[in-house]
Amino acid sequence: MSQIMVPVLATLFTLPFLAWYIVYIIIVKSTKKKGKAIRMAVDITTVFFIVAVHLLIKEISGQSFLWLIFLIILTTAVLFTIMHYRAREEVEFLRLMKGIWRFTFFLFTAFYILLVCYGWVNYLLSAFIA
């Protein structure tokens, strides 16, 4: 069983858009609701994007910046909590957590795209210049 799961998980962590698409298709087929499927796919695959960004940073720099990733998520959570409290004068925990988690998805999706582009450019430049 682990001989099948390890390559599948490695692929999904390396290509988180594929993980998002697979989750989206499964949820759409089971619920027939595209909006709900998009939100659930985002909620489920946020972890894949966070891990993918960590792996890309580690591959590009040779160092682990997991502490920085946690710091970014924590800072996002603090800022969202302050904004939520100022807007509503009361903190609705579940609503706040959904907002933080979904913003984290978009933030790490952007990081992932930037790091992939940087990696490609860096590789091409080193291949042609060296």
Dist CA 54 CA 70 (whole Å): 10
Q: Residue 11 — very low, low, confident or very high, per pLDDT cuts 50/70/90?
A: confident
pTM of the model: 0.90
Evaluate if residue 79 carries a pLDDT over 90. yes
Residue type, 102: R
Lowest-pLDDT choice from 3-12, 26-35, 53-62, 69-78: 3-12
Give the HSE-up count for residue 53: Cα atoms under 13 Å, Cβ half-sphere. 24
CB 19 within 8 A of CB 27: no
